[in-house]
Structure 1
Amino acid sequence: MKNFAMTFGSMKSLLFSLIAIMFLTLTACDSNDDAIPADNLSADSGDEEVIDGYFEDTDDVVFEANDQVSTTNGRIAIGRDHSLIRCAEITHDTENKTITIDFGDGCEGPGGKIRSGKIIITYTDRKYVPGAIWVYTLENYTVNGIALEGTKTLTNVTGEESDYLSFNKVLEGGKATWPDGLFATREVNKTFTWIREPNPIDDEFHVEGEASGVTKNGMAYEMDIVSKLIYKRKCRRAGVHIAVQGLKSIVKGDSEVLIDFGDGECDNLVTITKDGESEVVDLTDKRRDKNS
């Protein structure tokens, strides 16, 4: 069941489709994890979560584009209503291995997100092939009015003997600028691993790594995933879109905030600790994009 020699051979086409579906759902877990409310202890973690969400949104778009363009050359038509790129113009230059996703002056996707500008991708091979490298840059790109800049390199680091697909993602020169002119910067190095199980409902998505930057209030921070963040497909189906296990540390100046996502139960509860004081926060009704 977990043999990659067979997976990338006779079952290649089926696996590509399944992987695309899984990554569009599971990476959405990470990209939507941007709503820790700005109250009391959790205010210290809010900016990091928000900017992370906007940059992870670009991954969702790129993964879907990868699935849609396949080996087709030229302009690609996307017609599905639920597609993240349904209103974008997609072109694929197979000779130069370049994909351009152009949202124009702005169009609304699922969930009400309005994207504009371009994501330009260069690649060495299909994303799901071990060793493949994808580099994508943002050109006048915005999400809900927030301008994003930077270059992201995604490398398929799945080992030849590995049971699971793994990707390393590095963001360099990341910057988010709000309509009022305030901005935040971000650098990221994370690894994502898809844990496949015999029953797909039991699949998990594990995230490790670190990030750093400056918030829009001018505060430098460092984020470290102390204990890998675990997202579960069955929890997403139950309406829980955040990690359900793992520990994240955010350091600003001399202050450290710990965000504990729990012990694997499908709930929207996180425990936030600062200076020995802890607060349990229920994110169920507080998940929203923050534009200010």
Structure 2
Amino acid sequence: MKTTALKLTGIAFIAMATFFASCDKTETDLNTEAQDQNLAAEIFDEINEISDEAFAKSETLKSEDGMRNFRLGEKTVVTRTMTNAMITIVIDYGTVNDTCADGKTRRGKMIITHTGRFWDGNVTSTFTFENFFVNDNQIKGLKTIVGSINDAKQRTGTITDDGEIILADNAGTISWTSTRTRTLIEGSTTRTKEDDIIKVEGNGSGTLADNSTFSFTITEPLIRKNLNGCAVVPVAGVTKLVLSGGTEIIMDYGDGTCDRLVDVTKDGETTTVDMTGKHRRKG
């Protein structure tokens, strides 16, 4: 089971890694622009999953119920210290690549600081990186989450990302900024993640490896279910993606059915994309 602090990370960080899949129905792989966007979204959003696993593994918050260590390797060391009201978690993958259960290699450190008690009011978590790499792509920047309880007694968090990814093999740099709000609309009273249903709102932008730009806006709140097989792709909601030159892509995630299908509209044409097996660019 999860502690209060652990539950916050579960509701405050929601994956958007599938926002930027290719919408060209003649292609079987992601195009370069979509790959870069997908990589940025996936890496910055999976930080929450790493955080959850680290909190579960740390000494006083240790709990395995509802948790799966996919993103911590066998050699990963997690340390926890407390100074006054601040908890610091250091996730150390070591100086050489550690292959994790999700198939990705990681090295370097992620440092998490956590202040406040969730049920007493606002709580703030910050994430920084020290020579941190995922599949040889270096991650830099800052992630901040401010969580609270809304008037409906639901757990909510405002997430701000400001970072960059230096791609492996001198392939360029991707910048990523976003501000999003996450609200746990179901599952707040339990200590497992699998019954969580989350509403996501917000927007973001960035620069791709070829120096072109993109922006996205969630025009209808995204709904994510943490059920097995559902967590990767939102089950409802609409996102508008604007690429360099003004090209707009509309992604409709459906009516709540867990099917990993997204209706993608580009240049007036709509096609259904099966997001199963869509992968981000590797270094």
**TM-score band (shorter)?**
0.7 to 0.9
Whether the aligned pair in 2 keeps the contact of 1:66 and 1:126 (CA below 8 Å) is: no
Of 132, 149, 165, the residue aligned with 1:141 is: 132
Of 220, 225, 228, the residue aligned with 2:213 is: 220
**C-alpha deviations, 1:165-214, integer Å up to 9, x for none?**
11111012x11111122111011111111122589876411111111110
Whether the aligned pair in 1 keeps the contact of 2:10 and 2:48 (CA below 8 Å) is: no
- Separation in 2 of the partners of 1:64 and 1:240? 16
Task: Say which SS state the counterpart of residue 218 (structure 1) adopts.
Answer: coil
Query: Quick check: 240-249 or 140-149, which moved more?
Result: 240-249
Pair 1:262-2:250 in alignment: no
- Structure-2 residue corresponding to 1:103: 93
Task: Say which SS state the counterpart of residue 271 (structure 1) adopts.
Answer: strand
**C-alpha deviations, 1:124-153, integer Å up to 9, x for none?**
135676411111111111111111111011
1:232-271 alignment runs, 5 A limit? 232-233=225-226, 236-238=227-229, 241-252=232-243, 253-271=245-263
Residues 237 and 91 from structure 1, CA distance in 2 versus in 1: closer, same or farther, beyond 3 angstroms?
closer
Task: Say which SS state the counterpart of residue 241 (structure 1) adopts.
Answer: coil
Pair 1:112-2:103 in alignment: yes
Task: Say which SS state the counterpart of residue 185 (structure 1) adopts.
Answer: strand
Structure 2 gaps, min length 5: none
- Structure 1 residue 66: deviation in Å? 2.7
- Structure-2 residue corresponding to 1:88: 76
Pair 1:36-2:27 in alignment: no
Residues 126 and 217 from structure 1, CA distance in 2 versus in 1: closer, same or farther, beyond 3 angstroms?
farther
Q: Name the structure with the higher helix share.
A: 1
Pair 1:169-2:154 in alignment: no
Whether the aligned pair in 2 keeps the contact of 1:141 and 1:148 (CA below 8 Å) is: yes
Of 43, 52, 76, the residue aligned with 1:54 is: 43
Task: Say which SS state the counterpart of residue 23 (structure 1) adopts.
Answer: helix
Aligned-residue Cα RMSD (Å) equals 3.3
- Structure-1 residue corresponding to 2:270: 278
Task: Say which SS state the counterpart of residue 241 (structure 2) adopts.
Answer: strand
Q: Higher RCO, 1 or 2 (CA under 8 Å, sep at least 6)? A: 2
Q: Normalising by structure 2, what TM-score? A: 0.81
Whether the aligned pair in 1 keeps the contact of 2:110 and 2:127 (CA below 8 Å) is: yes
Task: Say which SS state the counterpart of residue 149 (structure 2) adopts.
Answer: coil
Structure 1 gaps, min length 5: 1-13
Deviant stretches of 4+, over 6 Å = 198-201
Seq. identity, %: 25
- Structure 1 residue 266: deviation in Å? 1.7
**Aligned residue type for 1:82:** N
Whether the aligned pair in 2 keeps the contact of 1:247 and 1:258 (CA below 8 Å) is: yes
Whether the aligned pair in 1 keeps the contact of 2:183 and 2:200 (CA below 8 Å) is: yes
Q: How many residues align?
A: 267
- Separation in 2 of the partners of 1:38 and 1:103? 35
